[in-house]
Amino acid sequence: MKLAEYFNAFLVNVVNLNQTRIDTLKARVDAIVMAIEGFDVYSEILIDTTPQGSWGHRTIIKPAGISGSFDADVVAFVTPHDGWAPADYIDHLYDQFKSHGTYSDKVTRKTRCVTIQYANEFSIDVVPCIRRSSIWETTEWIVNRKDDIEEQANPDGYTEWFLQQNTYVGNNQLLKVVRILKYLRDFKLTFSAKSIVLTTLVGQRISWFDDLGNEFADTPTALRTVIKRLDAYLQQHPDMPEVANPKLPSGLFTGKWDQDKYSSCHSQPAPRKPA
C-alpha cells in the first residue's frame, strides 16, 4: 500500500465526519430553517440561509474530544427591520425558539448567534446577518448582541474564496490538508488556533500557480507542501499578524487570538551553535 493510500484511509476512518452524521445534521438544519420561516417577524424578513464555518467550507471533522460533539454554523440572511436595534435580531430569534415546543429546552443565545444544542450530538449556531442592497452595492452585517452594534461581514464571499483556492490544487487536497491539521490540533492539543484562522492561513498559502505544478500530487505531498509554506510564513512573523477575511479586509478573524496562542503555532528555529 502506498503512503498516499494510508493517508486516504486515515481521512476516511478517523478524520472525516461520516455521512450518517452529515445527513442527520442536514435534517436538523432543514427543520430549524422551516421553524424560522414560520416565526413571527422573521418569516417576513428572512431572505435565505446558507451553511458557514467548517460545514460550509467542507472542512468539518469528527470530534476528537471526550464529549464527541461538534458544531455547525448557519447564516440567516435577513432584510433590515426598521424597528430593531442590532441586539434585537438575536433576542427576538431566541424568544421565538424559546417559545417553540421543539427547541425551548435546547436554545441559548451568544454574542453573535442563537445556539441549538442537541445533547451528545452537535450544536447548530444560527447567525443573523443583515443584508443591505442599493443600486451601488450589497453589504452584509453580523449583529453583536453584547455591544448592540453591527459588524460588516462577507460570509459567502469567504466560502467562495476558500473553495476557489481548493480548485487550484486539485482532488480536494486543500480540504484534506485543512481537515488533517484541524484533527492534529484537536487531538494533540499542542497548539491553539480557531478553525477560521487556521483555514485562512492555510488557504492563503495557495495560488493559481499551483494548478501548473505537482506539489499537491497526493495528500502526503500536499500536507508537506502546506506545512513548509506555513512554517516559512510563521518564521517571517514572530509577532501575531492580523488575519482577515480575504474578501473583506476589515473583517478580522484574530479578535480573540493573542500572542500566546499564536506562539503555540509558531516554533522559532533553534539558534545555531558558534562555529
Per residue in 71-113, pLDDT (tens digit) is: 899 999 999 999 999 999 999 999 999 999 999 999 999 999 9
> Is 36 a residue whose pLDDT tops 70?
yes
| Pair 231, 201: CB distance under 8 Å | no
Of the pLDDT bands very low, low, confident and very high (cuts 50, 70, 90), residue 66 is: low
Q: What is the pTM of this model?
A: 0.88
Per residue in 232-241, pLDDT (tens digit) is: 998 888 877 8
Of the pLDDT bands very low, low, confident and very high (cuts 50, 70, 90), residue 251 is: confident
> Is 139 a residue whose pLDDT tops 60?
yes
Per residue in 211-220, pLDDT (tens digit) is: 888 999 999 9
Of the pLDDT bands very low, low, confident and very high (cuts 50, 70, 90), residue 38 is: very high
Within 10 angstroms of residue 214's Cβ, the number of other Cβ atoms is 9
| Pair 90, 143: CB distance under 8 Å | yes
Least confident of 18-27, 164-173, 230-239: 230-239
What pLDDT was estimated at residue 240?
79
| Pair 140, 52: CB distance under 8 Å | no
Please state, in angstroms and as integers, the Cα–Cα distance from residue 162 to each residue in 85, 121, 181, 205, 246, following that order: 32, 27, 16, 11, 9
Strands 122-133 and 114-118: antiparallel
